[in-house]
Structure 1
Amino acid sequence: SSDDEVEIVGTKKCNFKIKSNAAHCTKRRADDDTKSDVSTDGTKCKKLKINLNSLKSVTNSKSNTKAVDVDQVQSDLKPKIMTAARRCSVRLTKYSAKKIKSLMARPALDADDPACNATHENNMSNMLFDGNFSGHRLPIVHLQVFEGFLIAASEDTNLYMHDLQTGKLLGTFSEHTKTVTNFVITESHDLYSVSLDGYLKKLSLKKFDSELLSANVGEALQVMDYSWDTVFIGSRSGKIYIFDTKEDVFAEECLCSVGRSIMALKATKEGPRKILIVSSRSHNISVRDATTGLLLRTIEVPDKLTIYSILLAGGQLYCGTNKNLVFRYEFTSGAEISRIKLGTGTVCLKSYKNSLILGGCYDGYIYAYDTKNEVQLSRFPGPGKMLLHFDVFKDNIIAAAKDKSLCVMEVPDNIASHD
């Protein structure tokens, strides 16, 4: 553009500078022209161009010999610029201004470059989109970050695979007929999913849209966990099924039945013994032998509360309930240590850093609790009302809510920097 032109580029704030060439000033008229522009790093903004040749005449001279009063031109332009600036909208990401500035300083990466995928794990700050994942029609109920990808299960019967850096939808698995309730990923990059349609499906992350195996249990399946080349599956009727991933077959009979809808399931070891921690609706927690299904002991849940989520950390068991309490037990003895007050309906619990626990609740907030000092640090809002699930990746959280939102957020500084 010439010296008779003004450019305003919107990032977070709109700054402007006016240049004028007095030798070319004749009759001028106001003519604002606004047009969109997208920067190379993917940040959306508006570019406003105002041509000074179109200003109203500021002089009666036709000989181009009279100098223009630049201060007067700026004064006349200011209201127009401010009006245009208010229209200059920038879709900011959920990152801080500091990270946005850092992002804009980096060159764009090729999402199809294999080297790009290899560095995903260490370059979350390089994300080239606004942090919102799309493509699903109904809420996401379970998700997991895995080697630079986001895998998400939806009520719309599909599984989705996104690139973490670009947000691009890389694949959709559409072989279930009802809500996909859960999935696990093995060391060989195979994914096993279960659904309310009663089927277990197998697919590969390398070829996400192709079904490798399908097995029908005949009843709604809700939760699962994976360990020792075995998938453990909890059903709505209270049965626990086991699936051998080496042979890709179900055991001939279910492992056991707890008689109530299974809400959470955790496979772990107690010494050399393989065990399952099982929570069911409005009932005590049971600890069972993972090979035989034998009941080893129960952990009492007061007031017939339902345990939505379980987390085993540092020899202690944390249990999120349908109320505003998280019960903390000494795992071996089953003795209650304390009751932690969080939001109502703690549906997801995750370990974070050395001594912190993050709890996602139906009230839409994610709470941070310091287990060492036994104090709640703070809470911060999730992506929408009624949070359904989240996963932690370094100092970032990817969370899903009932309003269909699915996005990545930064862990607040006061939590991320906590020792």
Structure 2
Amino acid sequence: MRVDLLTREFPPHVYGGAGVHVAELSAVLAQHIDVRVRCFDGPRPDRPGVTGYDVPADLADANPALRTLGVDLRMAADVAGADLVHSHTWYANLAGHLGGLLHDVPHVLSAHSLEPLRPWKAEQLGGGYALSSWAERTAYEGAARVIAVSAGMRADILRSYPQIDPEKVVVVHNGIDTDAWARPAEEAIAQVAAAHGIDPDRPAVIFVGRITRQKGLGYLLAAAESLPADVQLILCAGAPDTAELAAEVTERVNRLQQQRTGVVWISEMLPREQVMALLAMATVFVCPSIYEPLGIVNLEAMAVGTAVVASATGGIPEVVQHGTTGLLVPLEQLTDGTGTPLHPERFIADLAAALTELTGDPDRAAAMGAAGRQRAAEQFSWAAIAERTLEVYRDALGA
């Protein structure tokens, strides 16, 4: 069986959980089948079996959505010979849809997020958001199978795209490589902490994520104002969606730094080894997202052995066990697609309370971190997820 994986992100250009997912999944699937990866961001001559595409020159100055569709057309032409195509995120969904039609093979797609539930992207793409939404809807409605990364995500898919046959939508969770994600040596942790001016003797809360509305960074910054004075806040936050959002976050972080010590903002993308060291030295990892189909970053924190405080939305409750591997913060939200909290002040207060609870009890936080590491290893291994994905492939080909 030959399967072509179509993706926006692939190493070394990985910006979020979807890129991590494809990199890990492709490596495990390659042990069983012929896997070809097709991705954005130019050729990968040093990576056998990986074809990278540049944006067509005549679209270089076009709307970002049009540039994406230009790459999709090239991918669709090149999947000739595949038995099945498997696309990831709206960036590559249309390539999978058109490639499947053109070459008469099944198209399977993995849903890592949904455009109808990210309306703030109109700030970033303008009219391109209408194009990305059209591309996603067309691909979902035409796909042979849709893989949801959580049961929460499956429910979102069926609500957003009611024309899809529910029998075609299956759940296969994201995974984590617990050999690659593990607690570093204490010396390495100390070196990274010192390099960023973090005090190892003070409790710390860490956030890792892009600066985008869905990650809920604004709510965290508000909650941080009421954390105990000795608690540090480490923000590994970069790649803002818009200049306006970047300016908003900059202003709020600066204000917070004037109010309290120990607020560290790291805007550059760090190597995995440094991220693991920062996660390991923190008392608590926080995920204040208002939209999160699964949240692979929670799995990464758990694999390193760090307790998690996260909003109870999307697929997060399927990963974080409340009271065992961390604490879930209740979140009532609007159902208009924005995910806006119905009671933002209550959410901020509850988030601050959960963070205060665990940073004030480091022994309990450490026990939760150990339980999280065990859960990640037992329930979210890539070997099991690859086998489940292969079952979806066989089912689509059999149909």
TM surpasses 0.5: no
Name the larger-Rg structure. Answer: 1
Richer in helix (by share): 2
* TM-score, scaled relative to structure 1: 0.23
Please report the TM-score for the alignment, with normalisation by the length of structure 2: 0.24
Q: Which structure features the higher share of strand residues?
A: 1
